């Protein structure tokens, strides 16, 4: 039987109006952990600025990854 790898793309680089997505590092980390608990092996992350737009903010990436890794049982690939 073939194995399946599930990837969860939690925020998207561009999000159409009206879609509810996680925006803060805590929200993104919580969604990543929930995705892992329900079977995702990989999470694909984009960060959000305080205004909700996409951001390449290394501190937000660091914080989000730290929060995901704080779940010692979680071995999701980021």
Q: Domain spans of the chain?
A: 20-78
| Under 8 Å between Cβ of 68 and 76 | yes
pLDDT at 54: 85
> Per-residue confidence of the chain (78 residues) as pLDDT tens digits?
788 899 999 887 777 677 788 999 999 999 999 999 999 999 999 998 888 888 899 999 999 999 999 999 999 998
Label the pairing between strands 7-9 and 42-44: parallel
Radius of gyration from C-alpha coordinates of the chain: 13
Where does residue 70 rank: exposed (0-12), middle (13-18), buried (19+ CB within 10 A)? exposed
């Amino acid at each position: 039987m073939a194995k399946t790898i599930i990837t969860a793309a939690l925020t998207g680089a561009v999000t159409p109006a009206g879609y509810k997505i996680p925006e803060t590092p805590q929200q993104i980390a919580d969604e990543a952990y929930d995705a892992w608990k329900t079977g995702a092996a990989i999470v694909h992350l984009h960060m959000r600025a305080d205004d909700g737009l996409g951001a390449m903010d290394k501190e937000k990436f660091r914080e989000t990854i730290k929060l995901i890794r704080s779940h010692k049982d979680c071995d999701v690939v980021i």
